[in-house]
Amino acid sequence: MATELSELTDDLARRMDSTMETLRREFAGLRTGRASPGLLEPIRVEAYGSEVPLPQVGTIAVPEARMLTVQVWDRSLVNNVVKAIRDSGLGLNPANDGQLVRVPIPMLTGERRTELSKAAHKYAEGAKIAVRGVRRDGMEQIKALEKKSTLSKDEEKRWAEEVQKLTDLYVRKVDEILGEKDKEIKQV
């Protein structure tokens, strides 16, 4: 029984870790006034008849604190990269410099900081919902085992408490990451 409990909690923890990784990627895309390659990575570019992630058409670099560059590998895609960055809704104004696209990172206004903070809270709430969904799946698995008489009522209760502890841990992690991101966003 103990190995089955550890297998269940390991599986749930792996799924919750995946949720945390997704949250970190979403947070990397929130601009905080400093240049970060994660800002441009989710942008999709029209290339060769389909939309592909920006890192598949060029190399993103940070030559200085408030500047990103994209070294586009295929010269014919430079204008598509510029258009994709401009249309991304990030408030960036890229400049075409041959095969290099320069993306200056403007200072954040107070209003924009508030918007970014709200977006961060929305992402965090989505992550908490996903963690709770994983918990629900775990609880359903436990109840199914109890119905099959594989688990006693006491074991079911103990397993449910373990799943709840795991869930609480990950919800706290989401709150910690949100606190760090909020602090970063509001830092002038």
pLDDT tens-digit map of 95-142: 998 889 999 987 778 887 888 888 889 989 999 999 999 999 999 998
2-28+109-186: CATH superfamily: Ribosome-recycling factor (1.10.132.20)
Q: What is the structure's pLDDT at 184?
A: 84
pLDDT confidence band for 72 (50 / 70 / 90): very high
Segments in the chain forming alpha helices (H): 2-28, 78-86, 110-147, 153-186
Looking at 3.40.50.620, 3.40.50.720, 3.30.1360.40, 1.10.1030.10, the CATH number of the domain 37-104 comes to 3.30.1360.40
45 DSSP 8-state letter: E
